[in-house]
Chains A and B, each alone.
Chain A
Amino acid sequence: MAYALIAVGYSLVFGILRLINFSHGSVYAFGAHIALLFVGFQFGVIPAVLLSIVFTGLLGVAIDKTALAPLRKKNSIPIAALITTIGISNIIQNLLMIFFGSEKKAFPAFFDFGMVNLGIAKVNSTQIVMCVVSLILLAALMLLVNKTKIGLAMRATEQNAKAASLMGINVNFVIGFTFFLGGASAAIAGSLISGYYQIVYPGMGFMAGLKAFAAAVLGGIGSLPGSVLGGLVVGVSESLAATFLGSTYRDSMAFIILIIVLIFKPTGFFGKKTITKV
């Protein structure tokens, strides 16, 4: 489920820009660190997470406005934007390292209420909270995309940015808003996951980001329920691999599944048929 939360952010941005946002992993680490910072200021946990959501969302907007918007204006090649996000990821991750230190820091387990007995099995309450929050987040995002006016604008931009702008949609605002949503969901994911593992460090976003990305592609990138399903598949297969193949191969599981899926069904489980085979 952890990957599902991050994967949603990838899906949002990819859906609208057809761009893999490699900086998303770092944004997620940033969200976790900001939450930690405000928790350290004695703000209480909920306000800290809310502030982190706002700041991380703003970071997403800033990334878009400073680095990616000028590229769109110049109509540069897609690779340019991709490399820009790799560069941004580098910047964020190293700045985090400078300001917070590269060591692993303890994060409060703020929603740990002990074990919960479900009758058949005992489950850690953190896992339940994570599961519930992801589902709520997903439902909220689905509502936002499918029912509200801004969601309509987002879908229009996704289909055809030029036509959308002719219909009076402020495309740049919509893209900025998407980045805000992506950043906000990354912050939520960051706070929840670090609350679960109870550690935070600047490099945390890298592997998690890559795997979440694999999850997003698996479920059909650009589709929200797909990314949740993909996250589940990746998470479950990782645990299975850790049990049956030994924990050393755990990290490669996501990519092996990814390659197999891409070969046989490149659009993923829920993907739209946009990809063309040569």
Chain B
Amino acid sequence: MSDNKNKETAGSGFIYHMELFLERYKLPVSAVCALVLLAVPFMGFSQYIMRILIMIGVYTMLGMGLNILTGYVGQLSLGHAGFFGIGAYTGALLMLRLGVNFVFAAIVGACLAALCGLLLGLPTLRLKGTYLAIVTLGFGEIARMVFMNWAPVTNGTLGLKNIPRPSFFGFDLTLANHGLYYLMLVLVALVTVSCLAIIRSKTGRSFIAIKEDEIAATMMGIQITRSKVLAFVISAFITGLAGSFYAPLVGFIDPNSFTFDVSSLIISIVILGGMGTIRGMFLGAVVLIIFPEVSRFLMDYRFVVYGIILVVMMRFRPQGVLGWKSQMPYKLPRLAREELAKQS
């Protein structure tokens, strides 16, 4: 039946042609994209532009982290800046005080963020919709208060300075030698692949089922609270990972790097790109990170425009810029296709 429906909607519109094109030339297109991304450092951009590119990578990761929760499970979190901060502070402190390697620091930072996600998620994910939004909002603020007031560890409002760059085998990765850029590419690729893997797995399907209809999902034997907490933990983990990469990138963090504005920026990325899509996160991050930079001529008005974007998006295209439903016919698994081919 779904096949029939697909045939009716298929074959019309720009999006369909684009998807068809991508489907047919999947390999060359992705190869070209990968080559361009790898070759960017050799195109002679200034450090300023490289820095923006890396920030786009960081926010793409943040977007994907929130997307797992908001896009797929349908739970809004307004406190992701808190997880971002926990990851950043943990990573930075480990590297500063104990001189730990970046990889280890990042893993610990992400795990700690995930642990906080678990502790916050267990009691609160039983609450619904708006209440969850409030609790996470409060969590974000509390996390910031702790960064600000736990002075012996976090150095209070002064923040942490001189966070060492990540280094591998005695080779420092910096902006100048493009090491940070490639590290960003690796991390983004890792996060993207794991997000795709999660969403295409049984767990991911259960996430989407919860978003569509909780009661029906329960009927299908999905443990709702467990799935929600799991999504929350994964989301916090990715966000924490992005945080522990962000800290050595900028070299300086203070409690004001993790305000509610950051949370709302992450949400805007998810909304603008398209909730429940991976591709949307890239577009959202690109647009929302570049926009403040290129719109300096707007002066103070750019934040007004930023608000207007949110409002207008919600009004006319709540599913996001890239949030279309795939119009390609449903692709059966390989074994089923072979079976069909044998029959006909």
Indicate whether A87 sits within 8 Å of B128 (C-beta atoms), given known contacts A70-B315, A249-B145, A259-B135: no
Q: B134 an interface residue at 8 Å Cβ cutoff? A: yes
Per-residue contact bits, chain B 134-145, to A (CB 8 Å; 1 contact, 0 not): 110111011001
Q: How many residues of A contact B (CB 8 A)?
A: 47
Q: Which of B133, B271, B307, B308 contacts A20 (CB 8 A)?
A: B133
A166 within 8 A of B: no
B135 touches A20 (CB 8 A): no
B264 within 8 Å of A by Cβ?
yes
Contacts of A248 in B (CB 8 A): 145, 148-149
Encoded as 1 (CB less than 8 Å from any B CB) or 0, chain A from 150 to 181 comes to 00000000000000000000000000000000
Q: Which residues of B contact A120 (CB under 8 A)?
A: none
Interface-side segment among A31-39, A52-60, A77-85, A134-142: A77-85
A71 to B312, CA, bound (A): 11
Query: Could you tell me which residues of chain A, from 32 to 82, have a CB within 8 Å of some CB in chain B?
Result: 67, 70-71, 76-82
Residues B300 and A98 in contact, CB atoms below 8 Å apart: yes
Which residues on the A side are within 8 Å of B130 (C-beta)?
18-20, 78, 82
Q: Chain B, 113-143, contact with A by CB distance < 8 Å: what is the 0/1 string? A: 0000000000110111111011101110110
CB pair B304 A80 closer than 8 Å: no
Pair B306/A90 contact, Cβ less than 8 Å? yes
Number of residues on chain B facing chain A (CB within 8 A): 45
**Is the beta-carbon distance between A275 and B128 smaller than 8 angstroms?**
yes
Name the B residues within 8 Å of A243 (CB-CB): none
Are A83 and B314 in contact, with the CB atoms below 8 A?
A: yes
Q: Which of B230-288 contact A (CB under 8 A)?
A: 260, 264, 267-268, 271
**9 A-B pairs with least C-beta separation:** A87-B310, A90-B307, A255-B138, A91-B307, A252-B145, A87-B311, A94-B303, A87-B307, A248-B149
Assess whether B134 is in contact with A258, with CB atoms less than 8 Å apart.
Answer: yes
Whether B128 contacts A77 by the Cβ 8 Å rule is: no
Interface with B: A189-197, A206-214, A225-233, which one?
Answer: A206-214
Q: Which residues of A contact B155 (CB under 8 A)?
A: none
Which partner residue on chain B sits nearest A89 by CB separation?
B307
A259-B134 Cα distance, complex, nearest whole Å? 9
Tell me whether chain B's interface is mostly helix, strand or loop, or mixed. Answer: helix
Known contacts A67-B315, A259-B124, then 5 further A-B pairs from the complex at CB < 8 Å, ordered by chain A residue: A90-B264, A90-B307, A98-B304, A278-B128, A278-B225
Residues of B within 8 A of A20 (CB): 130, 133-134
Minimum Cβ distance to chain B for residue A72 (Å): 11
Q: Which chain A positions have C-beta within 8 A of B148?
A: 248
Cβ–Cβ < 8 Å partners of B31 in chain A: none
Q: Which residues of A contact B135 (CB under 8 A)?
A: 258-259, 262
State the CA gap A70–B311 with chains docked (Å): 11
With known contacts A18-B130, A259-B139, A206–B260 Cβ distance under 8 A = yes
Is B70 part of the contact surface with A, judged by Cβ < 8 Å? yes
Residue of A nearest to B143 (CB): A252
Contacting pair A84 B311 (CB below 8 A): yes
Can you list 24 contacts pairing A with B, beta carbon distance less than 8 Å?
A67-B314, A71-B314, A77-B318, A79-B74, A81-B314, A84-B314, A86-B264, A87-B314, A91-B308, A91-B311, A94-B301, A94-B304, A98-B301, A210-B141, A214-B134, A214-B138, A217-B131, A246-B149, A249-B145, A255-B137, A262-B127, A262-B131, A277-B126, A278-B128
**Interchain CB contact under 8 A, A278 and B310:** no
- Across chains A and B, the number of contacting residue pairs, with CB separation under 8 Å, is 126
Are B311 and A88 in contact, CB atoms less than 8 angstroms apart? Answer: yes
Closest to A264 in B: B123
Q: When chains A and B are docked, how far (Å) is the Cα of A268 from the Cα of B318?
A: 32
A206–B214 Cα gap in the complex (Å)? 33
Chain A contacts with B in 210-269, Cβ cutoff 8 A: 210, 213-214, 217, 246, 248-249, 251-252, 254-256, 258-259, 262-263, 266
Interchain nearest-CB distance for A189 vs B (Å): 20
| In the complex, B322 has a CB within 8 A of chain A | no
A276 interface residue per 8 A CB criterion: yes
In the complex, the chain A residue whose C-beta lies closest to that of B122 is A263
CB pair A79 B127 closer than 8 Å: no
Query: CB < 8 Å: which of A81, A84, A256, A277 contacts B127?
Result: A277
Contact partner of B310 (CB less than 8 A), chosen from A78, A86, A217, is A86
A144: interface (CB < 8 Å): no
Contacts of B196 in A (CB 8 A): none
Q: Is the CB of A83 within 8 A of B271?
A: yes
B76 within 8 A of A: yes
- Complex: chain A residue closest to B312, CB-CB: A87
CB-contact partner of A276 in B128, B225, B307, B314, under 8 A: B128
Q: Given A91-B307, A255-B141, A278-B128, verify A213-B134 contact (CB < 8 Å).
A: yes
Say yes or no: A278-B304 contact (C-beta < 8 A), given A18-B130, A262-B127, A266-B131. Answer: no
For A93-125 the 0/1 string (1 means CB < 8 A from B) is 011011000000000000000000000000000
